[in-house]
Structures are given as C-alpha cells and as structure tokens.
Amino acid sequence: MHSIARLVQRSVILALLVGCGRPEAVRIGDGYPRDESLPFLEAIRPAVESSGVLISTWSVGGDPRITIQLNTEQASLFADDPTVVAVVGHTGSREALLAAAVYNAREVPHVVPNATSGLLGQSGPWTFTLVPSDSVEGAFIADYALDSLRGSRLGVLYLGDEYGIGLRDGVRAALRRRGTDFVDASMIPSDWCYAEPAATIHRAIINASLRRSKPDVVVVTTGSSSGWCTAELIHQANPETWIIFGDGMDGARQVPDLTPRVNPGRIRGVEFWAASTDSMSRAFVDRVQGKMKQPLGASHALQYDAYMLLAAAIHEAGPDRRAIRRWLESLGVSREPWQGVTGPIAFNRPRSEILRMSGPTVSVP
Amino acid sequence: MNEPVARARGSLRTSIMAFGVAAVVYVAILGLLVRLAVQPASTRLRQSSQAVLQEYRESAVRAGTMSATITSLWRLHEQARTQPVTLDSLEALRYRVEKLAETSRTMHRLAAAAGAASNLRLELAEALVYEDRLRSEMLGAIASLELGEYPVAERMLRRADSLSTPLDESLNSATAMALQEMTAHEDNLARALSAMTTVVWIWLLGGMIALGSLALFLQRRLNAPLVRLDEALDRVSVGDLGLQLIHPHQDELGRLAAQFNRMTAMLRQRALDDERRAEDRTAARTRLILDAALDAVVVADAAGVIKEWSPQAEQVFGWTRAEVIDQRLADTIVPHEHRQAHTDGLERFGRTGTGPFVNRRLELAALRKDGTRFPIEITITPLRRGSHTEFSAFIRDITERKRAQAAIAESEARYRAAFEQAAVGMVEVGLDGRYLRVNQAFAELVGRPASSIIGMTIAELSHPDDREADSTAFTRMVAGLEPVRRQKRYLRPDGTVAICNLAAALVRDSSGAPLYAVTVAQDVTAQRRLEEELRQAHKMEAVGQLAGGIAHDFNNLLTAIIGYADLLRSNEGTSAAIQDDASAIKATAARGAELARNLLTLARTAPSRGEPVDVHQSIIEVRDIAARTFDRRIALRMHLDAQRPIVTGDRSLLTNAFLNLALNARDAMPDGGELTITTTERELGADECVRLAGVVEPGPFLVVRVEDTGTGMTPSVQQRAFEPFFTNKPMGKGTGIGLSMVYGTVRSHSGAIELHSQLGRGTSFTIYLPLRAEEAEGQEPVVPLVVTGSGRILLADDDDTVRDVARRMLQEMGYEVDCAADGAEAVERVASDPVRYQLAILDGNMPKLHGRDAATSIRQLAPDLPLVLSTGYLEPDDSDILAGYGFSGFIAKPYSMSDLSRLVAQQMSSVK
C-alpha cells in the first residue's frame, strides 16, 4: 500500500505539473551538508540565481559521521523533487559515490566538483566529474616525486576509504609503469588524530611504517583532519623527508598552529586551482572571498564552476534532466568546452591540465 | 400509421468512438497500474534481497576475519613476552586488516546500501564506524608490536576486544534489519499484489459491465433498429407499403428510418397510381385479347351468367355477343345432360373455392346456336375481383382434331394388327437400343417369349460375333446416315443360331426427331443351311472327282497286284512260302483297296453295298478299339438305347465314321475327359428335316450322338469342320479327311449330321441315319472261292498289266480270252465275229472309245452278248444307268480272282 500511496502522490504531483504548467522555480541541488557549505553557498547564490536558477540546499539532518544515511537520503530527496533538475556534490569520493548511485538510478544530472575516485567514472552516464580521477592524480604525484623531488624510496600513508585507497592505487600504478614501486603503504585511521586513542594509533602506525621502510618521500592521502598530524609525526622521525599530500589537503597552503614541528619546506600538496592564475579566477576571488571572509581553495572554485556550468546548461538546454545531460555530454564534442574559473570544462577527456603542486612555504618548482 | 418520433439527438458513430476510446483508456490504465505499482515493488524486493544476502555474507566474513585477527594479535602479543615477533607475521596481519577495509567499501555494497531503508542504512553506517575503529585499533596494535611497545599494543587490543562485541551486535542488527526490511518489502509486495488483484478484478468487473452496457447499447441502438429495418424491407418487398418505422433517436439510424418512411410513402402513392393505370390498361388489353384470341373467350360470373363474349366465340357457337350477354351458360352452350352438373359445379365453387373443372384443360361437348353438338377443349380460370368471382373460359372447337385422332387411332390399329400378325419378325427398338415392342414371329425367331424380350438390348439377343456390327449399324441409322439392310444372327437360349435378313428404319416425329426404329427380320436360317450344305456338297464333289481319278489308276494297279497274287496262290507248282507271300501281297493290296474306297467316300461315290448294318455292333467295335488304345484318363460311356439299330449301308464305312469321331474326340481331350456315345430312335418330322437342311426325308431315324468334354471348337472351326483336308491339329497329327469322310459316309447313307460345340465345354456330333425297314440279317461271310468254267471272253482294258493279269486269271479259270487294248479294238473284234464271244468285260475308262460307248456299239453288233463293266470308280446311282448302256453287270477294281470267277460264272450262266 505504501507503493500505491507513493504512486498516488507522484500522480498528484504529475497532475499538478501537467495541470498547472511548467513550474516557475528550477533548482540545482546542493550536495553538501548545510553547516559546511552555507557560507560559501550564500556567497555564490547571487551569481547562480542571477541566471534564473535557484539552489535547493541540503535538508537532511543527523550525525555527520553517518555518511551513508545522510547522503543517500538527501540524494533521494533531490531526485524526488521535480523542480531539482541537477545536483552538485557531494563532499568527497565516498559521499559522491553514494549519491551517484541514487542519481544514476533516478536519472538526475550529477556534477561532482572535487571527488577523484575512479569509481565515479563507472557510476553511470548521469555523473560528471570536474577533476581528474585518482589514477591520473596518482601518476602526477609519482612523476613529481621521482622527477622533481628525486625521491628514490616512496612510502604511502593512506586513509582506508575510497579516496585514500584510490590514490594509493593510482600512485602504485604510475610507479610500476616507471619500473619501480613504493617501499611501504600503510593505512591510517580517518579519525581526528589529535585526540586519544587515535593519536596513539596514528603515531604507532606512522612510526612503524617509517622505521620499516625509511622513505625519502611519503605520499599522504588524507584530509585535513589527520593530514597535519601525520606530517608532524613524519618530520619528527626525519625532518628531511618529503611529504606530498593528495588533493584532500587542498594544496596544504596553511600550516595549522597545532603542528609546530612540521618542516613546511618539505611539504607539497596537489591542488586543482590557484587564486592568482588568471583574471577570471581573480574576479571569482574578489566576488566571493569578501563574503566568505576566508581564503578560497580549489574546492570552492570547482563548486562555483559546477553551479555556473549547470546554470548555463539549464539556460541553454532547458529545465529538463535529460536535456541537461545531453548538453553536458556535448561539451568538447559538438559544443565548445565551457569556460569556468578552473579552466575549460569538458567531459570527453580527463582534465589533467588543472593538476598543480603547491606548498605552504615554497612555491611550486 | 404512426409518425416517427424523435426523442433524443445523438450520433451513433460518436457513441461507438467514445466507447472505443474509453476501452483503450481503460485497458491502458490497467496496464499502467500494473507497471507502476507491481513492477517497482518487485524490483525493490529483488534488489533488497540481493543486498541483504551480500551484506550478510560479507559481514560474516569480515566479522570472522577480524575476530581471528584479534586472536592472532593476542597470541603474538603473548609470544612477544618471550621472544621477538617476526615482521613477516605482523605484515601478514596488517595486510589482512587493510584488505578488510577495501572489501568493506565496494561500490556494490555502497550502491545496495543506498537503496536500503534509512534505519538499515543507519545501522550499516554505525557498523562501519565500529569497523573503522576496530580496524584502526588493530592496525595500531600491529604497529605497536612492530615497534616493541607491548603495553600500548595490549591497550589497543583490549579496546579492539571491546569494540568487536558492539560491531558484531551492529552487524547482526543490520542483518536483522535487512531481513525485516525484506520481509516488509515482501509484505508490501503482497499487499500491493493483493490490492492490484482487487483493483484488476474491479477493473475487469467494470470492464465486463462496460462491455455488457456496450452490447446492450449496440443491441438497442444498432441491432434492434437494423432488424426492424430488415423486417420492414422484407414487408415492403412483398408489397406491404403501409409500414412506418419508429426510431426514438435522431442518429444515423433515425435518419435512415425517416428516409425509409418517406420512401414507403412515395411507393404507396406510386402504387396507387400504377394500380389505376394498370386497371385501365388491363381493361383495354383484355378487350384486345378477346378480339384477337384464336380461341373463343367467354367470361361468366359466379352464377354462370355470360359477361364477355369474344368474336371468336360468335364464330364457334353461332351466338352474337348481343344475344348472349347476361344469358346463362346453361341456357346457351351447355348441353342438356351437363346442365345440372354445371349448376352444381358453380354452387360448389362458390362454397369451397375449388372445383374439378377449374384450372384444367378439359374436353367436353358443347351446343351451337343451331343445336348441334360438337367437341370443345375448354380451360376455366377463376378471376377474383374484390369480393366477387368471375370465370374466364378459353374454348376451342376440336371437331377436326377429334377426327384426326380417330384416323390416327384407326391407322395405329391397322399397323398394330399388321405388326402382330406379320409372318416375319417385326420389332420396335428404342434409341437406346432396347426392344420396345416385338411380334410373335420375332419371339419365335429368337426362341423367347415376347414379354421377356421387351426391355432387352439388341446385344443381348445378338450372336456375340455380330454385336459390334449391330452397334455400328444402329448408331449410323440413328444418326440418320443410312438405314439398316444386312444379315445378322440371333442366339437362341438353346444355343442355336437364327439367321435373318434385317431391314430397319427410323420412325421420326413431326419435327423430324427420331423416335424409335422399326425392324423387319426375315428368318433365312434354313436357306443359309441349304446354301451351306450345297457349298459342302460342291466341295465334296470336287474332292470326290479328284479322288475318283486317282482311284481309277490306283485300283488298276491294285487289280493287277491282287490278280498276280491270286495267280501265284492258285499255281499248284508254287511253293508254300511263295503262296504265303502271295497271300500277304493280296492282303496288303486289299487294305490299299479299302483306302481307295475311303477316298471315294468323300465324294459319296463309293459304291454302297446296301447291306443291313447293326450300328450297335459298329459302335461296340469302335469302343473296343478305343478301350485298347485311348488314354486311360478318357472315360468311355455308352448309352445304346435304340431298340432296332439297323440301317442300310456299308458296315465298314460306318465303323470307320464312328471311329473317326472317337479319334476326333480323343484328340480334343489331351488331358482326359469323357467320351459318350448314345443311340436313340426318333421319328423326324418335316420341320426337323428342313432344319437339317432338307437332306433327309421324314421318317424313322437312328440318332447316334458322339460327345466329348474336350476343348471344343471356335465358330470358325465349326464352319469348316467337314471341309476336306481342313484341320486345326498340329502338322502331322491330322490329314483333314477324317470328318470329311464321316460327312461323306453319312450322306452316302442318306443321313444327316449336326455339329454342336462350345469352346472349353466340348463337342457333340449327332448323326441321323434312316432306319432299315426290315430286320438286319446276319451277314454271311464271303468265302473266297474260284469258280471255273469254259467259253471265250473278250477282255478290253487299256492298262497292259490289268489286261494281262485278268487274262491269266480267266485262263486259270478255264476260259479262252481275247484281249483288246481300247474300246475301239473291242468293237472291231466283236464286229469281225459277233458270236465268237460268250462274255465281254470292258474297262470303263479307255482311250479312243470309252467303255460305255464301246458297250453301246457292241450291243448293236451282238445284242445277246453279256457285257460286264470293270471300273475302279463308279457312282452308286450309275448302276441304274448301266443297263442303259447294255451292261448286265459290273465288277469293281481291284477285284480278286474269286470275285471275278463268281461274276463271270454268273454272267455265263445267264447266257445259258
């Protein structure tokens, strides 16, 4: 009877839509929890909505650690809402993968700004990623470690999630293509590493790994929650060890105060965008950073590009999910790439050109 | 009449289209309900079931792996108290734990989890949190053990232990929830199916009601009006134009009904107009018909009062129209004796509407004005005009026709009498070849009762060999190509054949179409028999003449042989051995003489001995020969019933004839059979003598029948059976003279012979021999005795050998002999001394002067001189004319010495 009730509900909505004509509000779903995204969202909302497209924000509440629950429910709500014609998000690879499963099942265009999991490319035709996959990023890191840092013993400390594991595999594949391999790969917990018992666990795992493999370059595929303490533990053992963060540290430009023992000169991080690269980026920074009252990272620029890209798609293709998908697929094929803050956007090839390496204290070599 | 009423407006087409659209929508909604309500529920249930199963399996595996890893770590921890832990063992455990992280986050699980219910997702998320923390503790413990920080490792392991229980509980709870969810899905599906079933049933019920409504609608709005229209059209087609259709709707059928009503109204008006015009035309036409009719036309009312009287009626009856109008028929043209019946008939018709004279063609008598009676042919037809009835009568004077019919009947009677009493056979044969009528002469001709012949076909009476020719001739005659003039044979039931000269011609009707054939059949059977007999006689005569010529020379030779043999035997100086040889020579020559006589029998020229012959003895002799020599498979049966089987004739010839018949029967039965010989006495009348080709005279006859059960003869063989030298036996088996000799023997005994044969059934020969008046006398054996004498004998024979042997035999007997080589010399010798000789023996056939002519001359020279004719060929009848030539006796060649001595002694004694 529940199904019948849903059927009746949908039928009523459909009847209303048909009977009342086209809805005036066309929305893009925001796939980021409200608390995290609200300042940035409010900062870019005028720009997005100036094209006549509204943003439907995150509405599901609950324990933010329960990723599955939150993301799948929110994705379902977006899919159920006929006014939502596309979605931007979600937070990371795991969340994006969860949501992609829903959107591909329900045929909702889904633009992922900054998740790199290679599994997203297999989610279905309704999911479009703005950043290169973890295999492309892994190859970029490996080339940088071998060529720029002259590293000979590469170790990997990775999170046991889709992002960490994917990037580990990407680095390994690139090393093997170049005839070598890393000397160690250890999984580290995803918990906040400045409190017990996680701190002890991190320390034990990292120390054991360093003692076991004595690396001169360590690739760290964590987010900001454990990245800097990991770096501190590495440099405690050997301050000369090179640390390369994955994109999860978003360039690792700001060294937190909690980690005074890190050696910033031996830290590098992958990022997809830098604020000073061109006039378009500078305009974006000028427009948004003031409202945010904090520096903007690559993830912001990618989210902004995602919204503006979909607004353009809705404008040109109309507020129809299938038409929007066809419009996105046509970029770089039958249509010129769309020019965003992070550069030209098309989905017919990886955007490897946006990959760059930065550091907190030194410029990119 | 009712005016059409329009109660509602509408279009049948629109209604039907609306029903069709409603039906399509109805079915589409039903299909949509199934598609939207049942199928997604089923899909979700399948996905949930797969997810739960996968989750359960992987959870169990991971829980087991983690539990085992913790146990291993505890063991390593204990081991580390006493000895260092190897890196390899720790590496293996670390790899296992890290692998667990990968396997717990496959895309498949995440996707499945995304489709699960929220509480299940919550539980799975919580389990993942526990799992992450437990995995972190284990990885930390492994690293601590590797670093040698055993107390730290112990704390981590204890925390891991403490986490494993809630992890297990969480996983179990998730699994239980998944099962519950699946159950809930199943319940949902079941409810959905139940609801859908109810909906479908209701839908179907609604559909059936809708269909019923549609059927009812169609019945009321479409079918019923159409049926009414169809019935109305039927009624209109039979002339009912007063019908008005009522249709309560102004749809297509309503408009059609209105059109129909308008049409019937028009037709009614038109019919009324037509009726009026037709009445006018009918009246005029009736007058014209009455005036122009060849028959007299009289119209009378139901009381028999004349209302119309045509000009032809005036001529027939002599009454003018003015005279008879409104007069009663009974007072004018109905004869007195029929007037009561006429009145009764009118009364009965008025009462019953029927009558024996109505609508029939009748022949009655009528009266003219002058009172004369004459025959008429009348047809009375009732005319119903509204409530009253009139009668029209078409009357024809048939006086002339009656006269013609009487003449035809008389002619027919004459023809019938001639037909029935004709001496020749007459038949009428239908065009199908069946006999329609036959007269008594024809019935006798074919040997059947006349009544049995009617209906039979020509072929059934015909001889089988004539059927094809009959058919051809009949077909040509019917086709009008030529009449039949031919001779044909009929096969009687007793197997005999009647031969007729046939003349047939077609009888045609007045239009020339053939009706039947009249055939005259003249019996020429006896004539044909006589012709056959004559032909046979001519053949036999020719053969006889041939045989006689041969026999003359042959007998001369035999005469010499027998004579010399007798001389040898009579010579006392001859040795006994030579005398025996001479006896053998004589016996052989005697058989040769018998053969010559048989040949002469063919021509009935053999001298009949005229002795009484007991035929039974001859038959018994034949039976004895047959019993000795025939195949034992041939049974011989004798029925010798004749009381006095004595005939006049030659016993040896008759025996030979019977023997030949027996041999013929034997040859016809190569595989055995029965040979039966019967004898009876019978008095033949004139008819039978005619049937036997007239070769015998009426009187008592001995009838000998020789029958076999052999192969029989074909008709063609039967026809030539008695022909000399004809045989159907294989080469060397028959000479062809056996049956010819039988024929000759019978004919030489003044008898007749009949042959009956059927192929495959057998053959019978019936011989008719005239009985001898007196009792048969015992035949005295001839004793070969040489009588001696004296005197001078003139011997004339052109054959030197015969002349020499005869001379020597006569000299042996004691006579003096002068010889002459031909007739002229003999005459010369007598002329030179007419009294010199006491006897002259003259050969019958000599050069220069024939024996008979020589005898005539000698008789003139010496009237008292006995003359003996010596010949090997003499017709029996010739004996009567021998005396005319002056012969007093004759001796047949070949003769023996004793025969010659007895004849010479007899002749010499007559002189004395």
* Low-confidence winner among B115-124, B364-373, B581-590, B833-842 (lowest mean pLDDT): B115-124
Whether residue A101 lies inside any domain: the answer is yes
pLDDT reported for residue A168 = 94
Q: How far apart are CA B305 and CA B333, in angstroms?
A: 12
Band (B154; pLDDT cuts 50, 70, 90): very high
* Last residue in a domain, options A271, A301, A324: A271
Q: Stretch B897-911: mean pLDDT, rounded? A: 83
- Same domain, yes or no: A138 and A264: yes
Q: Which residue on chain B is closest to A75 by alpha carbon?
A: B114
Q: Give the pLDDT confidence of B344-378 residue by residue, as tens digits.
A: 888 888 888 888 788 888 888 999 999 999 999 99
B200–chain A Cβ distance below 8 A for any pair: no
In this model, does residue A258 exceed pLDDT 80? Answer: no
Pairing of strands B699-708, B673-684: antiparallel
Pairing of strands B762-770, B816-820: unpaired
Q: What share of chain A is helix, strand, coil (3-state, %, to 5)?
A: 50, 15, 35
Q: How far apart are CA A192 and CA A196, in angstroms?
A: 9
Q: What percent of chain B has pLDDT over 90?
A: 20
User: Residue B876 burial by CB count (10 A; 0-12/13-18/19+): exposed, middle or buried?
Assistant: middle
Q: How far apart are CA B735 and CA B729, in angstroms?
A: 9
pLDDT reported for residue A21 = 46
- Same domain, yes or no: A261 and A337: no
pLDDT reported for residue A65 = 59
Give φ, ψ of B828 to 5 degrees.
-60, -45
In this model, does residue B639 exceed pLDDT 50? Answer: yes
Give φ, ψ of B388 to 5 degrees.
-110, 160
pLDDT reported for residue A5 = 47
In this model, does residue B5 exceed pLDDT 50? Answer: no
Q: Which residue did the predictor score with more confidence, A191 or B620?
A: B620
- Same domain, yes or no: A139 and A265: yes
Q: Stretch B506-532: mean pLDDT, rounded? A: 86
Whether residue A237 lies inside any domain: the answer is yes
pLDDT reported for residue B116 = 59
Q: Stretch A165-194: mean pLDDT, rounded? A: 90
> Are the Cβ atoms of A201 and B140 closer than 8 angstroms?
yes
**Residue type at position B285:** R
Task: State the nearest Cα–Cα gap between B251 and chain A, in angstroms.
Answer: 35
Q: What percent of chain B has pLDDT over 70?
A: 89
In this model, does residue B666 exceed pLDDT 80? Answer: yes
- Same domain, yes or no: A141 and A258: yes
pLDDT reported for residue B230 = 85
pLDDT reported for residue A241 = 95
Q: Which residue did the predictor score with more confidence, B601 or A119?
A: A119
Q: Stretch B539-549: mean pLDDT, rounded? A: 72
In this model, does residue A17 exceed pLDDT 50? Answer: no
Whether residue A26 lies inside any domain: the answer is yes
Band (B7; pLDDT cuts 50, 70, 90): very low
The number of domains in chain A is 2
Band (A198; pLDDT cuts 50, 70, 90): confident
> Are the Cβ atoms of B107 and A209 closer than 8 angstroms?
no
- Same domain, yes or no: A245 and A173: yes
Q: Of the spans A25-39, B231-245, B297-311, B685-699, which averages the highest pLDDT?
A: B297-311
Q: Of the spans A336-350, B89-103, B680-694, which averages the highest pLDDT?
A: A336-350
Q: How far apart are CA A217 and CA A224, in angstroms?
A: 19
- Same domain, yes or no: A91 and A126: yes
What token pair was written down for B712? 């029989």
- Dihedral of alpha carbons B262, B266, B272, B275, sign: negative
Q: Stretch B854-873: mean pLDDT, rounded? A: 86
* Low-confidence winner among B515-519, B603-607, B801-805 (lowest mean pLDDT): B603-607
Q: Stretch B679-693: mean pLDDT, rounded? A: 82
pLDDT reported for residue B13 = 73
pLDDT reported for residue B196 = 76
Band (A52; pLDDT cuts 50, 70, 90): confident
Q: Which residue on chain A is closest to B192 by alpha carbon?
A: A1
Task: State the nearest Cα–Cα gap between A293 and chain B, in angstroms.
Answer: 34
> Are the Cβ atoms of A94 and B144 closer than 8 angstroms?
no
- Same domain, yes or no: A255 and A196: yes
SS3 sequence of B845-907: CCCCCCHHHHHHHHHHHCCCCCEEEEECCCCCCHHHHHHHHCCCEEEECCCCHHHHHHHHHHH
Longest dimension (CA), chain A: 71
| Residue A359 DSSP class | -
* Last residue in a domain, options A254, A271, A288: A271
- Same domain, yes or no: A198 and A106: no
Q: Of the spans A26-40, B147-161, B599-613, B687-701, which averages the highest pLDDT?
A: B147-161
Which residues in B lie closer than 8 A to residue A65 (C-beta atoms)?
A: 125, 129
CATH of the domain at A311: 3.40.50.2300
* Low-confidence winner among A171-180, B97-106, B434-443 (lowest mean pLDDT): B97-106
Contact A126, A108 (CB under 8 A): yes
Task: State the nearest Cα–Cα gap between B121 and chain A, in angstroms.
Answer: 5
Band (B874; pLDDT cuts 50, 70, 90): low
Q: Is the peptide bond before B894 cis (omega within 30 degrees of 0)?
A: yes
In this model, does residue B412 exceed pLDDT 80? Answer: yes
> Are the Cβ atoms of A65 and B188 closer than 8 angstroms?
no
Q: Which residue did the predictor score with more confidence, A39 or B491?
A: B491
Which residues in B lie closer than 8 A to residue A212 (C-beta atoms)?
A: 87, 146
Q: Stretch B557-572: mean pLDDT, rounded? A: 83
**Residue type at position B95:** Y
Number of CB atoms found within 10 A of residue A353's CB? 11
In this model, does residue B510 exceed pLDDT 90? Answer: no
**Chains A–B, number of C-beta pairs less than 8 Å apart:** 131
User: Cα angle vertex A77, ends A75, A79, to 5°?
Assistant: 70
- Same domain, yes or no: A13 and A99: yes
B102–chain A Cβ distance below 8 A for any pair: yes
Q: Stretch A1-7: mean pLDDT, rounded? A: 48
Q: Give the pLDDT confidence of B166-202 residue by residue, as tens digits.
A: 887 877 787 777 777 777 777 777 777 787 788 778 8
| Parent domain of A138 | 134-271
In this model, does residue B229 exceed pLDDT 90? Answer: no
Task: Write down the mean pLDDT value for chain B.
Answer: 82
Q: How far apart are CA A162 and CA A57, in angstroms?
A: 25
- Same domain, yes or no: A201 and A267: yes
List the strands of the sheet with B752-758, edge to edge.
B634-640, B673-684, B699-708, B762-770, B752-758
pLDDT reported for residue B51 = 65
Q: Stretch A291-309: mean pLDDT, rounded? A: 87
Whether residue A186 lies inside any domain: the answer is yes
pLDDT reported for residue B56 = 64
Task: State the nearest Cα–Cα gap between A89 and chain B, in angstroms.
Answer: 16
pTM: 0.45
pLDDT reported for residue A255 = 76
3-state secondary structure of A335: strand
Whether residue A326 lies inside any domain: the answer is yes
- Same domain, yes or no: A161 and A49: no
- Same domain, yes or no: A117 and A39: yes
Residue with tokens 């960490």: A164
In this model, does residue B106 exceed pLDDT 80? Answer: no
Q: Which of B87, B132, B149 has the CB atom closest to A204's CB atom?
A: B149
Whether residue A357 lies inside any domain: the answer is no
In this model, does residue B675 exceed pLDDT 90? Answer: yes
Q: Which residue on chain A is closest to B90 by alpha carbon?
A: A208
What DSSP line would sit under B807-825, residue for residue?
HHHHHHHT-EEEEESSHHH
Contact B802, B556 (CB under 8 A): yes
User: Residue B230 burial by CB count (10 A; 0-12/13-18/19+): exposed, middle or buried?
Assistant: exposed
Q: Stretch A317-326: mean pLDDT, rounded? A: 94
In this model, does residue B127 exceed pLDDT 60? Answer: yes
Q: Give the pLDDT confidence of A209-253 residue by residue, as tens digits.
A: 999 999 999 999 987 778 888 999 999 999 999 999 998 887 677
* Low-confidence winner among B99-108, B249-258, B745-754, B893-902 (lowest mean pLDDT): B99-108
Contact B292, B269 (CB under 8 A): no
What token pair was written down for B303? 């009381």
Whether residue A356 lies inside any domain: the answer is no
What DSSP line would sit under B512-561, residue for residue?
S-EEEEEEEEEE-HHHHHHHHHHHHHHHHHHHHHHHHHHHHHHHHHHHHH
In this model, does residue B282 exceed pLDDT 50? Answer: yes
Q: How far apart are the first and last CA of chain A?
A: 64
Q: How far apart are CA B857 and CA B130, in angstroms?
A: 185
> Are the Cβ atoms of B114 and A75 closer than 8 angstroms?
yes
* Last residue in a domain, options A271, A286, A311: A271
Q: Give the pLDDT confidence of B8-23 residue by residue, as tens digits.
A: 455 677 777 887 888 8
> Are the Cβ atoms of A98 and B114 closer than 8 angstroms?
yes
Whether residue A364 lies inside any domain: the answer is no
> Are the Cβ atoms of B114 and A72 closer than 8 angstroms?
yes
